[in-house]
Amino acid sequence: MSNPYINAPIRARMYTSTPHKVIWVVVVVASAGLLAPPLFFVAAKKRVVSMAVPAIYAVTVYGSAFVGSLLGNPKNWVGGVLSITMIIAAVHAAILDTDWKPGR
């Protein structure tokens, strides 16, 4: 019988240290969520998340800003979408390596 833990693929760590994690979360918040797609693209290349995650963030962040510039922003919905996306991206960025254990 084979053990699934022995044959499991090795996942790379997303962050090398705690300050590295803090810097990424602060960058996502400071950029108002605009740098969330590149962060999750790096995470997808390291196989921490699937490739759909950066695509969803990119469509949400950049798409809402683009559509808001085309249609206008009478009720400030773009700011609301970007702030909610920023909060979600910051929390998501903070919990990326929580299940990582040495030796995996």
- Give pLDDT tens digits for 29-73: 888 788 889 989 988 888 888 899 999 999 998 998 888 888 887
Round to whole Å and give the CA distance between 10 and 45: 14
- Output the pLDDT for position 55: 95
pTM for this entry: 0.75
User: Would you say residue 10 lies in a domain?
Assistant: no
User: Would you say residue 55 lies in a domain?
Assistant: yes
User: Would you say residue 11 lies in a domain?
Assistant: no
How many structural domains does the chain have? 1
User: Would you say residue 2 lies in a domain?
Assistant: no
User: Would you say residue 27 lies in a domain?
Assistant: yes
Give the residue among 51, 49, 58, 57 at the shortest CA–CA distance from 14: 49
